[in-house]
Structure 1
Amino acid sequence: MDVQTYVDARHAMLVRTAVLMGRSNARAHALVADALDHSARQVARLDDPDPVVLQALVGRVRADREVDPGDAAVVDTLDAYRIVSDESLAAREAVAALPAGLRDAAVLLYFARLRARDAAAALSVRSREVPGLARGVLGALPAADSDEAAQVLGLAGETIAVDPPRPVAAAPARRLRGVVVAAAALAVVAGLTALLQPDGAPARSLPPDPPEKLGADQVPSVFALSTDEAESMLEARGLRVRLADSPACEPADRVLGTDPTTGTVVERDDVVTLLTASPSGPACEVHFGERTRAWEFLDFAAGRATAQPGFAPTVRVFLDGAPVTRLRDQEVLFRRPVWAAVLDRVTAATRRVELDGRGYAVPQLTVTTGVPPANACGVRRPEVVGRRPALELALVMATEAGGCPFSVDLYTRGGAIDAVVVRSPAPQGARDVAHP
């Protein structure tokens, strides 16, 4: 499985797992990042990396407890700007009140949904001890069976706000045999010798920085394009296209990227492999529906006729907290000028390509559900939507770490979208966050 794809799909679950096990929000993010960096190579090899990553995370949580035995209080890990229902808060407090051993078991079994043997490995207990732990959890929680326990843990997880994931460090390369390492070292020395004049001055300048904007001789971004669109764009540049499936928690045939990557200099008739999603493994089932709906909206914004997100008879549209239009009946499909302008902003956000060091960054789609905060990055939640949960899709750029990404909140009634709330991106510190 592609490591970054896994991170995008499971980062929120992992952070919430660490918080539910008693770590502060900041420590949870750090522990998850460390566990993911440590497990990157295994994630790349497995269809379902959850057991491996969670085992690494639990080990780090327990080591962190030894350094700081105190559990983070519930109130200390609540986001001041996030609306939390009384039911969710009660569930969170019920989980926090469990003894540490039972709480760890509850989180792994009913929140992370590990199988008994995988939970046993993560908890460092024998498999035959897991049923007893499960019975203890059910007896201590307001839950009669595993389904009710999962509901309690799910409500508890809703109280925890999660920051966007950072890119995962590349997995370390395999150790080479000594003779190969020695040969590589000699090659490096020879290369340095060739680069230096007798007086130590460089013999030639370093390669120029890559251009800020992609040129016609560079691989373009294919993010958010359909397979046909990406294929046509590459072929129009004189490139030969090969399709290859790649395991990912995305809708089938969704374009994931290219090999070589965006920004690579190519020549006519070079082969570019177009990577398309092949969803597999139980880890993909958890948020598959949410990501499918998010992609449907992005496809609709781009004007793809086959995309049908499902709209209510009346749809309210907001941009940066201000109402911009109200669409009735079929107006949402006719793309009235104001509505079209908002959709064009969404599509423009998917087409961004920015220089990131020596390479190029394209957006990463993150999808979450829950009640949006009353004030997100200085933009207040429209009063008319109330305190309803929404599907939030954010287009995160690695070059904007710590800032506010371009995001869209989709509110629904009866499964139909009745409000669309769009927020423009802003760098870190560009907006003051006001109290609700």
Structure 2
Amino acid sequence: MHDIRAIRENPAAFDAGLALRNLPPVSGEILSLDGQRRAAIMQAESDQAEQNKASKEAGAAKARGDNAEFERLREFVAQRKQSVADLTRQAAELDGKLRELLLGIPNLPLESVPPGKDESDNVEIRRWGNPRKFDFTAREHFEIEGVRPGMDFETASKLSGARFVVLKGGVARIQRALAQFMLDLHIAEHGLEETWTPVLVLSEMMEGTGQLPKFGEDSYQTREGWWLIPTSEVTLTNTVNGDIVEHATLPRRMVAHSQCFRSEAGSAGRDTAGMLRQHQFEKVEMVSITDAATGVDEHARMTRCAEAVLERLGLPYRTIVLCGGDMGFGARITHDLEVWLPGQGKYREISSVSYCGDFQARRMNARYRPGDGGKPEFVHSLNGSGLAVGRTLIAVLENGQQVDGSVTLPEALHPYLGGKTRLGADGKLV
């Protein structure tokens, strides 16, 4: 959420940030509501002071037997009491409207974010590895002969409907190995703390990271009111919800492997073949809680953590910085990692790494106490996929496919597969 004081002090800068997202200015509407709210509060305070003064004067009038003055003052006190109640109610209503408006406004991009309207304006900043040259026509993951026995969309559809998959045998084991490999790398070499969290959360947790109220239709809610997490960003970031942590404990770097759930309400007709876009999927998610001074550097560090996974797996990728028009709601800057998928002949997103500044912290009221004992300040939060497990499975299968329908697997996975190095054309690990 945004700092109303910053908007009051520099509304033009606020609208300029929204313009980088190709959004119209809203500072005028915000300041109008804020002005009405503050005026109502000030008038209520003034009327309350008059009420208190008149109450004392009425007591004095009654004591001296001045009934006429007492009745006049009593009527005046009643009027002011009603006015205070009306103004307090009005201020609360205006405060609710202002909060609702602010909750629906996305974060302001950093000045370094490139301008642009959509993904065509994103800027590549580097790439790693060379796409393999095939001496046969590369197939998509679900077309590879050795993959078919272990990737069952028909049974999944019978169980749950469209955009689900049942993984079996060697393919299921490769997916499990990928998640374990990612966790071990992040924990042992990148210094992240392994964390396990629930997949059901309260509405205020979804609001804290920005999924609510604006994107409720993209997530699933149970009859009891819990929400299924779209990613463990929600739970990991909210571990500091409402807290004041010690500055010495920052940065807090966490990683979790979890099931994730998204309704994909706005993606009808997109990537319906295979398991590229599913309602239920797995991710290894990274979250950092830090301060303003180190947030940008932490973003670069987190990006490198995600890139390292792809490099260890030998998967060609490129890193891009998203333009203002393509960034997610809560981000100030986002790096996307796109892995090469030979079956599609293009790079596809496999990780988004975002720096959110204090945007989420304000929604969560998450702060830290400076080491010098000063006033608590809002933490800064970051999140990134490290990586999306299902999409990494797709990339491993497509980049390692052989003409006979088998798949050569990355060396980094061999210890997690009991020394097996290939997925045979019959779907078994060998």
Instruction: Bin the TM-score by the shorter chain.
Output: under 0.3
Which is greater in Rg?
2
Normalization by structure 1: what TM-score?
A: 0.26
Normalization by structure 2: what TM-score?
A: 0.26
